[in-house]
Structure 1
Amino acid sequence: MRRPDGELEEEKVFKDPVHRYIHVRDELIWDLIGTKEFQRLRRIRQLGTTYVTFHGAEHTRFNHSLGVYEIMRRMVENLEKKGKWDADERLVCLASALLHDVGHGPFSHSFEKIFHMDHEKWTREIILGDTEINSVLRRMDDDFPLKVADVIAKTYDNKLLVSLISSQIDADRMDYLLRDAFYTGVSYGQFDMERILRVMRADEDQAVFKHSGMHAVEDYIMSRYQMYWQVYFHPVTRSAEVILSKILHRAKELLAQDYAFKLTPHHFLSMFNGKVTLRDYLKMDESVILFYFQEWEEEEDSILKDLCSRFMHRHLFKYVECDPSKQMVIWQELRDLYQKIGLDPDYYLVIDSSSDLPYDFYRAGEKDERVPIHLLMPDGKLRELSRESDLVESISGKKRTDHKLYYPKDLLMDQTEFPEEKQRIMALLVNQEG
């Protein structure tokens, strides 16, 4: 039963391993969760290919989106108690938190890079398009979907609201750090979220934090730093991403050559030709991708067949450290040797780079400019976090980049053909780090 004020007659509760319970009392939120576009997130993993490295990382965008909603619900509740929140904005905020990732494709960021897509753009398309989500949002009023889409686009007038969902310390990051740490079984992502929520205060354009809670914020920053390098950028996960990318590039290349697939990639056709409709996009999830990969293990094309088998059965590429800016001569020799032994270097010799900037100051006009975290001092003034924290100051503005060279060691160790060339390749690879 539902009440005239938009609240459910009885609160709905989801059991959650990270937040214990997720509470839903608004009809709007409950109906959004039930839409087919939101339910699609059950079929998209939160961490893409990370499950091949950390076997517990099977959680989904559905789990995470509910978690972000719950953190946001608690943030809003706390700010309402302090008299620092406009009640009319409450449902805009909660709906935006719930829907912030609804535009993710299968294997998330890997998929985006391969097809040059932006999940935030697709999120806005789903919110504003001919979807069940749009129909539910329009029950509030005709402008409500646009308000939610503007929050996702970071163009909404209420900058405080935007900062709660997208900033250097927001509901999204808080949930994915805690959730990803839980499901991967690591301790790096743990921090005192309860303390952070207690010391959070509303400023005009962003959330700020009482100076007395600085150490909890420091812990959060360092947790994020560790999670990126120990989990998100793990080299084995990146090996799986490299193979995933190469499979789709190979399928696209074969399609352009009019190759006769045993199983035509119907679901990919619009993506390969750059004419993706919203309907096409919403049909894509990880079960579809894995179905094709399994079927393509039987294809005649040796590269597509081999790469799909590697991905499906976790027969991944090995890796060495490398610095592409200093080793171009070695890189060219490796490519020439690959050609001699019949291995296509475009598919079997891959440099992958990862980089992260754990915390930064505001740098006006620069790409990906970041609004800093501010502390509320005892005298009522605001002070940027790194000016008070030696720990945060030590990593501020420092971008760390890591390069790995991936290759199929098993094929190179097979000495039945081209033994001299293969020995030379392995010698060059072993010496890459130096």
Structure 2
Amino acid sequence: MSLSSKRLHEEKVFKDPVHRYIHVRDTLIWLLIGTKEFQRLRRVRQLGTTSMTFHGAEHSRFSHSLGVYEITRRMINVFAGRDHWNEEDRLLVLSAALLHDVGHGPFSHSFEKVFHTDHEWWTRQIILGETEVNAVLRQVDPQFPQAVADVIAKKSSNKLMTSMISSQIDADRMDYLLRDAYYTGVSYGHFDLERILRVMRPECDQVVVKASGMHAVEDYIMSRYQMYWQVYFHPVTRSSEVILSKILWRVRKLQEKGYKFRQPPRHFASLFTNELSLDDYLRLDETVMYFYFQAWQDEEDPILRDLCTRFLNRRLFQYIEFQPEKREEDWQKLQQLFMEMGVDPDYYLVQDSSSDLPYDVYRPGAGERVPIQLLMPDGSLRELSQESNVVEAISGKKRTDYKLYYPKDTLSACGQRVAREEAVRILTRG
């Protein structure tokens, strides 16, 4: 019997703090959860270094992926029997929801920036390569892995399924907002998920929302806005990410120079030669990374040793507001002063920016995301910001925050008094 129709003898449930229970009845989903590639997500945290700021944020991409599956399953229950929904697509979209993050690596975005990897590309390799995930998916149909990969990559001809897990109001965003708010302990990430699910409707190209549910969607949009600026872009979290990125950069540079590590970065070897295989990638998780950070505290290289010690013991960089286009002269002067003090500005003087576009109205040909559509009582569709004054006020408005990070404790201990005092004067001038 094909896995497309096979059900478990009894429904399995996962107790979940966000959704109360996550329900699994399909044998396919149960087998996918049990694959080693999916279980690896237990060792990759959802929020990377955010626990440095919000100590409860230790949850994993495993629990998030289950949550996205559960919200998608509930969407399908609402869509059942309605026009534009094909019940034969149920397992396909459930599989895509479950596996959408399976390619994430340790400390995803910092890792990707330094080593030029792409978790979406790796997700595709896991689904289509010689993996346990692929072997399970092929039990449905030999073409099923490709269909799942296409939904996740937004290449599927079925745009409705894509919008269920990747749009401006989708199962992915709804789960991570609620889950991240729960684990960070903040209140502004919450919104009425049950209400939104009740008013969602399937259309040919995307999920739409009944006009009567507009206020619940407004709440969702504002929750997302607040979470980005209060949690995801928190400057303390960004400081820890800066140090993490600099650790990885330092290791890469030392390897290129032929430095002899006391603890050689064997798990990174194929990364340095641009020959990273799928098996090598899947061996990388955050437990492996922490092992190296712990060991590299004893390296002879003072920069690597210091950065690892800072990261592990939360001795983070200080930060100030710093608009680069307005303070170019200060930037050049600070780099010079840091070198005079014997503090390498490549690692200890870092400009960083965070930006977000909370909601965008689609403009044909410009590549923007498809907007949220409201289903009006007469059956017509209206773009959300045309009906909501709240959403209109933030539509298409990108906000960017600029910071400069530096080690205040290192400057305080520096013996070069003149250079130190001049650097502190510039840094505290604002």
TM (norm. structure 1) is 0.97
SS at 2:253's partner residue? helix
Please list the CA deviations of residues 281-314 of structure 1 after superposition, one character each: whole Å capped at 9, or x if unmatched: 0000000001001000000000000000000110
* Structural mapping, 1:187-198, within 5 Å: 187-198=187-198
SS at 1:353's partner residue? strand
Q: Is 1:260 the equivalent of 2:298?
A: no
SS at 1:95's partner residue? helix
Q: Matched residues in 2 for 1:253 and 1:48: separation?
A: 23
Does the 8 Å contact 2:357/2:396 carry over to 1? Answer: yes
Question: Residues 108, 325 of structure 1: CA spacing in aligned structure 2 closer, same or farther, 3 A cutoff?
Answer: same
Please list the CA deviations of residues 106-154 of structure 1 after superposition, one character each: whole Å capped at 9, or x if unmatched: 0122222222221111101000000000000000010000000000110
Structure 1 residue 5, shift from structure 2 partner:
3.7
Structure 1 residue 163, shift from structure 2 partner:
0.3
**Partner in structure 1 of residue 421 of structure 2:** 423
Q: Matched residues in 2 for 1:215 and 1:112: separation?
A: 37
Q: Matched residues in 2 for 1:49 and 1:4: separation?
A: 39
Alignment gaps of 5+ in structure 1 = none
Q: Matched residues in 1 for 2:194 and 2:110: separation?
A: 32
* Structural mapping, 1:233-272, within 5 Å: 233-272=233-272
**Partner in structure 2 of residue 344 of structure 1:** 344
* Structural mapping, 1:106-185, within 5 Å: 106-185=106-185
Q: Matched residues in 1 for 2:3 and 2:99: separation?
A: 24
Q: Matched residues in 1 for 2:113 and 2:223: separation?
A: 26
SS at 1:249's partner residue? helix
Does the 8 Å contact 2:83/2:202 carry over to 1? Answer: no
Question: Residues 274, 364 of structure 1: CA spacing in aligned structure 2 closer, same or farther, 3 A cutoff?
Answer: farther
Does the 8 Å contact 2:28/2:136 carry over to 1? Answer: yes
Q: Matched residues in 1 for 2:424 and 2:263: separation?
A: 36
Q: Matched residues in 2 for 1:208 and 1:334: separation?
A: 52
Give the letter for the 1:306 counterpart.
D
Give the letter for the 1:335 counterpart.
Q
Structure 1 residue 171, shift from structure 2 partner:
0.1
Q: Matched residues in 2 for 1:161 and 1:119: separation?
A: 21
Does the 8 Å contact 1:3/1:9 carry over to 2? Answer: no
Does the 8 Å contact 2:373/2:383 carry over to 1? Answer: yes
* Structural mapping, 1:320-335, within 5 Å: 320-335=320-335
**Partner in structure 2 of residue 310 of structure 1:** 310
Does the 8 Å contact 2:83/2:203 carry over to 1? Answer: no
Does the 8 Å contact 1:319/1:406 carry over to 2? Answer: yes
Does the 8 Å contact 1:127/1:149 carry over to 2? Answer: yes
**Partner in structure 1 of residue 31 of structure 2:** 31
Structure 1 residue 84, shift from structure 2 partner:
4.3
SS at 2:25's partner residue? strand
Give the letter for the 1:98 counterpart.
L
Q: Matched residues in 1 for 2:325 and 2:237: separation?
A: 24
**Partner in structure 2 of residue 216 of structure 1:** 216
Give the letter for the 1:428 counterpart.
I
Q: Matched residues in 1 for 2:323 and 2:112: separation?
A: 25
Structure 1 residue 274, shift from structure 2 partner:
2.0
**Partner in structure 2 of residue 408 of structure 1:** 407
**Partner in structure 1 of residue 296 of structure 2:** 296
**Partner in structure 2 of residue 99 of structure 1:** 99
Alignment gaps of 5+ in structure 2 = none
Q: Matched residues in 1 for 2:204 and 2:186: separation?
A: 37
Q: Matched residues in 1 for 2:307 and 2:244: separation?
A: 8
The sequence identity of aligned pairs, in percent, is: 66
Does the 8 Å contact 2:3/2:139 carry over to 1? Answer: no
Please list the CA deviations of residues 56-88 of structure 1 after superposition, one character each: whole Å capped at 9, or x if unmatched: 000000000000000000001110143542111
Q: Matched residues in 1 for 2:361 and 2:169: separation?
A: 13
**Partner in structure 2 of residue 388 of structure 1:** 387
Structure 1 residue 3, shift from structure 2 partner:
9.7
Give the letter for the 1:214 counterpart.
M
Q: Matched residues in 2 for 1:99 and 1:172: separation?
A: 11
Q: Matched residues in 2 for 1:21 and 1:307: separation?
A: 41
Q: Matched residues in 2 for 1:85 and 1:9: separation?
A: 27
SS at 1:296's partner residue? helix
Q: Matched residues in 2 for 1:5 and 1:421: separation?
A: 72
Q: Matched residues in 2 for 1:32 and 1:133: separation?
A: 6
Does the 8 Å contact 2:355/2:401 carry over to 1? Answer: yes
Give the letter for the 1:168 counterpart.
Q
Give the letter for the 1:269 counterpart.
A
SS at 2:298's partner residue? coil
SS at 2:394's partner residue? coil
Give the letter for the 1:78 counterpart.
V
Moved over 6 A (4+): none
Question: Residues 54, 35 of structure 1: CA spacing in aligned structure 2 closer, same or farther, 3 A cutoff?
Answer: same
Q: Matched residues in 2 for 1:279 and 1:363: separation?
A: 41
**Partner in structure 2 of residue 6 of structure 1:** 6
Structure 1 residue 270, shift from structure 2 partner:
1.4
SS at 2:320's partner residue? strand
Give the paired residue count. 429
Please list the CA deviations of residues 358-398 of structure 1 after superposition, one character each: whole Å capped at 9, or x if unmatched: 0001123335x210000011111100000000000000000
**Partner in structure 1 of residue 203 of structure 2:** 203
SS at 2:275's partner residue? coil
SS at 1:297's partner residue? helix
Structure 1 residue 4, shift from structure 2 partner:
9.7
